[in-house]
Structure 1
Amino acid sequence: TLIEAAPHLAAYLPIDISEEFLHSVARDLRKRYPALEIAPVVADFTRPLSLPAPFHTMPKAAFFPGSTIGNFLPAEAMVLLRQVRDWQTVEHFIIGIDLVKDTETLIAAYDDAQGITAAFNRNILRRINRELAADFDLSGFDHEARWNSAQSRIEMHLVSQRDQTVTIAGDQYAFQAGESIHTENSHKYTEKGFTSLAAQAGWEVTDFITDPHDFFAVAILTPAD
């Protein structure tokens, strides 16, 4: 793990909006690493946040694994990068990035044969039914993944299979056959594109590590002078 690879760490501050989940993880980490200070921060990392005072002046390395940055619009990703750049004494930002690849590979990843992504996408309709007293017929919407090359992103849509009317919180909404609900984006980057984005947020990319197929990357950022 990253913690084991950095034995000099004095503290680890996991950040998550779910307090119950975060404290559960913190308890497990304290058992695994009793010599390491674990200081969970309950916060929405998409908004400005303050780290606990004892850590303000400590050198920091931020870690944003996976490819969650791709779920942000570029302007939103810029805001996040700038917010972390504004932390006191931040020295590194380690961030995962999903890379641009051929369209066939991208579509297959978001429209898998097992139907896992389709079920995940339709689940938003199930939640709307449950939480907003709606009456979506889940079988009336098909999952569709689209590659938007102009925006360098995969788009997930739910496409109405017929003309239909849905009630949500007492209001009615008409869908024509073929009309879609755009549910999610997943932006993909090139090394050049992400380096430019990072530079605009005050970072320099000092390392860009990819897998053998150049499908995914981990970028190491340091504050630009």
Structure 2
Amino acid sequence: MKNVPENLEASTTVAFATLGCKANQYDSSFLEAQLRARRFRLVDFKEKADIYIINTCTVTDRADLDSRNLIRRAARRNPEAFKIVTGCYAQTKPGEVAQVEGVDLVLGNDKKARLLDYLELGRPERPMIEVDDIFRQTELETFGMASYSKNTRAFVKIQDGCNQFCTFCIIPYARGRNRSIPIPRVLEELRSLSERGFREAVLTGIHIGTYGQDRTPATSLLELLKAIEATRP
């Protein structure tokens, strides 16, 4: 791998492009906040950047095409940039993604939270695939709090994955089986957000109607909402 400059965090520019659902937006929002905390400088995806992160969707063929177009766009803007592709397209078709010209790293959905570790390793000499079997994930690895910096609204991902396996749908293969955050941890996140001044929180996930069905003992979205209501002053 190429060496990482000593002043990487202070001088490096990072650009995000995010396709797809609110859960994907949540993931990107957290990663942006994580990079800001490490003093990376975030720039618009239309600008030249040192690092491009494309958080993809794969719910339709059009989403795959849009993802590939974003990758090529980043490669044209700065051929020497570190280009990382993550999200559902990367999870389900990593080999196809790695063949797109300009891709340096294909990162599975379960590895997004380790983005900083991969940045510290530096840009690989050839395309690298870091994607595991998503069905091995039995617990939801939470990023913690995420929010949109220009808003007073925060997004809290309480659930991920789906057990329906509908014939037409690729989502379980992209996001894995249903996994939920325990109610006490959701309440803790909401309390922390309130203390930071957020006035509104949006509970998000892939199939939040199945929230809690994977827990032992099982719970439900209704029970979570009752618990949240009980904490209000």
TM-score scaled by length of structure 1: 0.31
Mark the structure with the bigger radius of gyration: 1
Q: Which has the higher helix share?
A: 2
Tell me the TM-score normalised to structure 2 length: 0.30
Structure with higher strand content: 1
